[in-house]
Amino acid sequence: LVPGGVALLRLTDFQQGTEVYFDNQRVAVVPVQDSWLALAGIGLSKKPGEYQFSIRRSDGLTVNSTVEVKYKAYEEQHLTIKNKRKVNPNKTDMERISRERERKQAAKTHWSDTYPEVDFIWPVNGEISSIFGLRRFFNEQERNPHNGLDIAAAEGTPVQVAADGTVIETGDFFFSGNMVYVDHGQGLISLYAHLSRIDVKPGDRLKRGDILGAVGQTGRVTGAHLHFAVMTNGVLVDPLYLLPEKQPNAPVQLSGGDQ
Ligand code: ZN
Q: If we measure between CA atoms, which residue out of 75, 83, 67, 228 comes closest to residue 137?
A: 75
Q: Ligand 1 centroid vs 124 CA: distance in angstroms? A: 14
Mean pLDDT by 10 residues, the chain (259 residues): 94 89 95 90 95 93 94 91 88 93 95 93 94 91 92 96 98 96 98 98 98 96 94 96 74 46
Cα of 176 from ligand 1 centre, angstroms: 9
* Ligand 1 midpoint to CA 126 (Å): 14
- Predicted confidence at residue 247, as pLDDT, reads 66
User: How remote is the CA of residue 72 from the centroid of ligand 1, in Å?
Assistant: 20
User: What per-residue confidence (pLDDT) applies to 91?
Assistant: 92
| pLDDT for 258 | 53
> What's the confidence (pLDDT) of residue 33?
84
Distance from Cα 212 to the centre of ligand 1, integer Å = 18
Instruction: Specify the pLDDT at position 86.
Output: 84
Gap from CA of 4 to ligand 1 centroid (Å): 15
